[in-house]
Amino acid sequence: MSEEVILEEHKDEQWPEGGMEKQPRGLMTLFFSEMWERFCYYGMRTLLTLFLVKSLMKGDAEASLIYGAYTSLVYAAPILGGRMADKFLGYRYAVMLGAVLMAIGEFLILGNTEHAMLLGMGALIVGNGYFKANISTIVGKLYKDNDPRRDSGFTIFYIGINIGALLATTIVAYVGETYGFEYGFGLAGLGMLSGLFIFWAGRDNYAAAEGLEITEAGKAKMLGPLTGVQVVSLGSLLLIPACYFLIQQNTWMTYLLLVLFGLVIYTLLSAGRKEDKDLGVKIWFDRMVALIILMLINISFWACFEQAGTSLTLFADRNVDRGIFGWEMPASMTQFFNPFFIIVFGSIFSVLWVKLAKVGKNPSIPQKFALAFVQLGLGFLVTMIGLKFVDADFQVPLFTLVVLYLLHTTGELCISPIGLSMVTKLAPKRIAGAAMGAWFLSFAGANYLGGIIASLTGGHDGGEALTAAETLVNSTDVFAILGYVLLGIAALVFILNGPIKKLMHGVE
């Protein structure tokens, strides 16, 4: 049966009236749910480093490592969240559980103490693990195999993520730095409750997606009178103090991440072997090898990109002239340039990939990744140009960060939405949630490594602060090194394009 006939038969399940050229109806519900979840997450993230340094009086290096451990756990948690959804919870319940825990986490931080902050971080980590991996998986399941709209759909979904990030890095950042960090965190919590309401109220719109319902294992008794869903839900609460400990003792993260990476690689390769054995071909194992290679490439990109919340924010606070017609932009608000440019260019890139595919000029997935590295590297090297315009206070002009974030954003559009879509195409259906969780594990490693990188640009150690001249030299030296290393990685990925494409067996 031809692909066109299959798509026509399933048209009513997937598309609203008006033709298959339109995106699935449920995409907009998931778009706005994710938008408010990202408002919650980025609202916390945009203020975190400055909150640690200015309110809790942490040194730059310690604050960067706490930030790195926290964001690392945020991205590691989807491994568990995806697996629990696949096996017990179903995607809908998992997303709702995650939303509730994230809202609780934001409100816990309102205690404005280190103890309350760490507990709140723990709840945010566990909640994000359930929400993030599974809402992305639901998006993928709105599309049939080989649907040409999938990449565009994920790019549209990604714009929703960045609208939430834009609102967070403007409204939450301004409220937090102007009126008090606790007000910013509270506002982020209210955003999460909005996302929860939209997801539940619009549940009929994405009902055609597979895997939404609680599984048979989830409904069955697991521990005495408790069902699998109840045991997993209660067990999730016990993970909050574990996250508290790991953030506080963040050197343990190295060992945890190595163990998790080992388990993930074993799970992916085993799943690939099983699929190949059932089908009598050698395709899925190769695809899992390709996914693992691209995960490692992904780590390198995001370890440098995620300097936005740490070293680049502190650089903005100390060494960037943020004056605009007599008004000084809060340092945390400089993070808004990234989501702003995503919104401006996201739809352009969405159309671009489709147009290039129609004329046979669409770059392969590895080539898009390499292009992302080129732009990220050039963004960091822009700080070298900024040095030529340093003022008497050892501050570079704001355009330095504007151009840096512009290049970082166009690089991001070549890797992030493409990566999300790629996972849903490379992974066997039976481990779709776990594979998405594995993809987010690469972000976990990147964020932890990013915290270590950021600690190298520190302005003070909790005691006597360095001068503005010293912080300028420290920061720009590290940024220049990152720029050249990233350009070298781009060249390597271009060289590896052919072998990786061969392992992907036709996935574009």
> What one-character DSSP code corresponds to residue 324?
E
The answer as to whether 3 is a domain residue is no
The answer as to whether 431 is a domain residue is yes
Give the span between the Cα atoms of 318 and 465, in whole angstroms: 11
pLDDT number for residue 155: 75
Longest Cα–Cα distance of the chain, Å, equals 72
The answer as to whether 15 is a domain residue is no
pLDDT number for residue 151: 73
CATH, residue 31: 1.20.1250.20
The answer as to whether 2 is a domain residue is no
Residues in the chain: 508
Distances (CA, A) of 33 to 197, 231, 347: 8, 26, 19
Under a CB-based contact definition with an 8 Å cutoff, are residues 214 and 90 in contact? yes
Q: Looking up tokens 């050229």, which residue turns up?
A: 21
Token pair listed for 442: 């690469």
DSSP string for residues in 223-234: ETTEEHHHHHHH
CA atoms within 13 A of residue 54's CA, in its CB half-sphere: 15
Which of helix, strand or coil describes residue 75? helix
The answer as to whether 4 is a domain residue is no
The answer as to whether 135 is a domain residue is yes
Backbone angles phi, psi at 261, to 5 degrees: -65, -40
Number of domains within the chain: 1
pLDDT number for residue 414: 92
The answer as to whether 12 is a domain residue is no
pLDDT number for residue 117: 92
Give the span between the Cα atoms of 379 and 482, in whole angstroms: 10
pLDDT number for residue 16: 40
Q: Looking up tokens 């194992």, which residue turns up?
A: 285
Q: What is the rounded end-to-end Cα distance, in angstroms, of the chain?
A: 22
The answer as to whether 41 is a domain residue is yes
Under a CB-based contact definition with an 8 Å cutoff, are residues 371 and 414 in contact? yes
pLDDT number for residue 160: 86
- pLDDT tens, position by position, for the chain (508 residues)? 333 332 333 334 343 443 345 888 899 999 999 999 999 999 999 999 999 988 888 888 899 999 999 999 988 888 788 889 989 999 999 999 999 999 999 999 988 788 999 999 999 999 999 998 799 889 988 988 778 788 778 878 878 888 999 999 999 999 999 999 999 999 999 999 999 999 999 999 999 888 999 999 999 999 999 999 999 999 999 999 999 999 998 889 999 899 988 988 998 999 888 988 887 778 889 999 999 999 999 999 999 999 999 999 999 999 999 999 989 999 999 999 998 998 888 878 878 888 988 898 889 999 999 999 999 999 999 999 999 999 999 999 999 999 999 999 999 999 987 887 888 788 887 777 678 778 878 989 999 999 999 988 765 555 566 788 888 999 999 999 999 999 999 999 999 999 999 998 888 7
Under a CB-based contact definition with an 8 Å cutoff, are residues 127 and 195 in contact? no
Give 163: exposed, middle or buried? Use CB within 10 Å, 0-12, 13-18, 19+. buried
Model pTM score: 0.84
Token pair listed for 95: 């997303």
Q: How many CB atoms lie within 10 A of CB 327?
A: 7
Token pair listed for 351: 């159309």
Q: Return the bridge partners of 320, or none.
A: 396
Q: Looking up tokens 């507990």, which residue turns up?
A: 119
Under a CB-based contact definition with an 8 Å cutoff, are residues 240 and 122 in contact? yes
Q: Which residue range is the domain that position 350 belongs to?
A: 22-504
